[in-house]
Structure 1
């Protein structure tokens, strides 16, 4: 710019005449404008970001709104806004249809670049709007925004970086769960089920006087005749089963990333499904730092479980089979233990069989691509079934359905 000014001025001084001075004065406003841009305080702009939603589910879309305010209405021909997208957003959020790519999760890569152009001129305030689609599960942190501008001829370019923190929390997608067998028994758990429909009418524990609401079929006719009063049978009250849901968060290859998302989604769906049932459910994730959520019906506990499932990553250094054995020592007996994993090994098979010895029932959920399940793994699953373990294998055909269909 200085060279251009010097050349034009020297040309006008030495050449003289109307044309040379006309060129000098015609370019003088542009040169002065370039000088003003150099000293213009771009870094003093105030930028705020707001998100249309701060909490959403995997696969949803979210819209970001950027508002830029400046005190000096200096005329700017153009302004380019670039959002530095977090790496955690560089994949598509999992929904039922995405599990067709379980054998090739790289097909769901979703690198996004956010650039917007505006022509603010004298405006003190202007806004940008852009959308992130198919947001993946996790906690995503937005930080940096780059602003670029310049003169009309492109001789001067200026940029500034702004730190504008924003967070969104994306919960795993939840589906309905169709459970083929209700997990109830009469010797397990401690919480009674008060629903009359769940009363067992085969185990009689005594008789009592008739009360309004008793069924006609419950009347004990022999005792009624002896005492000359209507007596009904007393049945053993059904109790709910205590369920421990265990999620495998052991570190694994990126090839099993989508299978892990399926494990998290199934866990979240099971937690939500059992929330309205009489059974009490505790949750345990075995990753780098095991997290345990005890048996409770407290609503806040449900929120903490979902928040943990939103943030969890497969980072466990201890093999899942060893982690189960470590936790087994502190587990109460006669639980129904549900294990959600994405691989089966001989070590895990022996750990699950050992777990079955102290618990009422063990249910194993294996989520993986059909192509990756080998013949030896299928043999181990059959041996687990023979040992009394309830085995559910969920591959692409099951994971792409609108609801989970599981056996317990």
Structure 2
């Protein structure tokens, strides 16, 4: 209704201007009066044509160089406009209307620079470009989207604005142009350091993964992606005409479950949760490269469970879940964690990735440790936001035998993150 009223108002203005100049020429007479009338007549006809020109009939397309990329990546976007009638336009403002999910900029470098400052949010400027098409039938403009945040982003509309030189006539139309952009969480290089128990020396750390030892061979199985070359049993491979891999004693008994805390907390900031998601994916990929049996559990408003697997397709499903997950309001994390852990077998190694620690979670982890379960905690938080109480609770867990990794911007900003397992 507003656009119709605007159109009628502009049309009345042009007719009124024409009537005023024509009346002046008729009543005043003379060469000068008619000269002014005929001199302004092409301008008024141009304004009338501009007002009546059907902009909504244009064909508009958005071209993305890539539709799937990692957090912090960049793409080039080209907007193409094609029109049938090349009516002269002095200027054209092309605006790609970005969804709310793309208003924030994010990249590992940008994130850890302001990790300690909870009030710093890096916003993106609106995407507008001005072009001067004149009689061109095909118009295009290109811009870059940098430092893209994780998630699925729906680009749905492109707005164009134009008008005359004097600003008397202004036209605007929004085209529905839908494209989906998927930004997957980035992964980092993770080095898992084994923590062994020695009666004479206490806890000692050793490079490697304690989640799998290859000392005692108990059988063979078919080769799977990630198996080491040295594990291949050449005799069985020649006999069965298929690549066979040695199966080790601990490989049969040790399985790992990575648990991500997807609960929203009052003190939680977006960069901290993004770091938790990236660490979760990185741990998953590191274990898959070592052919470990690993499952995934996401605890938030909804519970998503991916059982222990060797299927690469399941890895893709987890990656898709981590791409779209956002912290949500839910019941106490410790309550849900207890429910899920009680359903798992005792020999399972549990790695909990969280940005929050409370007394209930501490008590639960200590109880699980007393039951003989192996518990590993990945606590992610900005260094200046770790309270004295949180530090005391982490110390309790360490003394009770739970392996605690306290990860701040100092550790997360390194090229390789070291975690104790």
TM-score grouping bracket, smaller chain normalisation: 0.7 to 0.9
Q: Deviations over 1:64-97 (max 9, x none)?
A: 1111111112221111111211111122223155
After superposition, give the CA deviation of every residue in 1:187-206 in whole Å (9 maximum; x if it has no partner).
9xx9979869689xxxxxxx
Partner of 2:351: 338
Q: Which of 86, 100, 110 pairs up with 2:123?
A: 110
Q: Counterpart of 1:258? A: 271
For 1:113-124, what aligned pairs fall within 5 Å after superposition?
113-124=126-137
Residue of structure 2 equivalent to 1:147? 160
Give 1:284's aligned residue.
Answer: 297
Task: Please tell me whether the aligned partners of residues 79 and 141 of structure 2 are also in contact (alpha carbons under 8 angstroms).
Answer: yes
Structure 1 range deviating more: 348-357 or 240-249: 348-357
Secondary structure of the structure 2 residue equivalent to 1:252: coil
Q: Is the 8 A contact 2:105 2:124 kept in 1?
A: no
| Correspondent of 1:271 among 280, 284, 309 | 284
Q: Distance in 2 between matches of 1:53 and 1:372?
A: 37
Does the 8 A contact of 2:192 with 2:418 survive in 1? yes
Q: 1:322 matched to which residue of 2?
A: 335
* Contact 1:286/1:316 (<8 A) preserved: no
Question: For residues 236 and 325 of structure 1, what CA distance do their matches in structure 2 show?
Answer: 31
Q: Distance in 1 between matches of 2:364 and 2:169?
A: 68
Aligned to 2:410: 397
Provide the rounded CA distance (Å) in 1 between the counterparts of 2:126 and 2:119: 18
TM-score under structure 2 length normalisation: 0.83
Q: Give the equivalent residue in structure 2 for 1:19.
A: 32
Q: 2:81 aligns with which of 68, 77, 83?
A: 68
Q: Is the 8 A contact 1:335 1:361 kept in 2?
A: yes
Matched, 1:300 2:328: no
For 1:305-353, what per-residue CA distance to the aligned partner results, in whole angstroms no more than 9, with x for missing partners? 1111111000141121111012123212211100000011001101212
In structure 2, what is the Cα distance between the partners aligned to 1:304 and 1:3? 65
Counterpart secondary structure, 1:329 = helix
Query: Alpha carbons of 1:92 and 1:254: their partners in 2 closer, same or farther (altered >3 Å)?
Result: farther
Structure 2 contact 219–248 (Cα < 8 Å) conserved: no
Q: Which structure is higher in RCO with an 8 Å CA cutoff and minimum separation 6?
A: 1
Task: Look up the match of 1:31.
Answer: 44
Give the corresponding residue for 2:145: 132
Contact (CA 8 Å) 1:96, 1:401: kept in 2 or not? no
Deviation by residue 1:269-307 (Cα, 9 ceiling, x = unmatched): 111111111310101111111111111121211111111
Q: How many aligned residue pairs are there? A: 374
- The residue aligned with 1:376 is 389
Distance 1:97 1:82, change over 3 A: closer
1:161 lines up with 2:147 in the alignment: no
1 CA distance for matches of 2:267 and 2:73?
A: 23
How far is 1:44 from its partner? 1.0
- Residues 348-385 of structure 1, C-alpha deviations (whole Å, 9 max, x = no match): 10121223244541100000011111111111111101
For residue 296 of structure 2, give the secondary structure of its aligned residue in structure 1: strand
How far the C-alpha of 1:253 sits from its partner, in A, is 3.5
Distance 1:28 1:135, change over 3 A: same
1:82 is matched with which residue?
95
CA distance in 1, matches of 2:214, 2:369: 18
CA distance in 1, matches of 2:415, 2:282: 12
Listed as ranges, the matches of 1:172-321 within 5 Å are: 172-181=185-194, 182=209, 183-184=211-212, 237-239=249-251, 241-253=254-266, 255-321=268-334
CA distance in 1: counterparts of 2:265 and 2:219, whole angstroms: 38
- 1:223 corresponds to which residue? none
Unmatched 5+ stretches in structure 2 = 1-13, 195-208, 222-226, 237-246
Q: Tell me the equivalent position of 1:208.
A: none
Q: Which stretches in structure 1 are left out of the alignment for 5+ residues?
A: 200-210, 214-234
Q: Is 2:106–2:122's contact at 8 Å kept on the other side of the alignment?
A: no
* Max Rg structure: 1
Check the 8 A contact 2:259/2:351 in 1, yes or no. Answer: yes
The change in CA–CA distance for 1:97 and 1:41 in structure 2 (over 3 A counts) is closer
CA contact (8 A) 1:256 1:368 kept: no
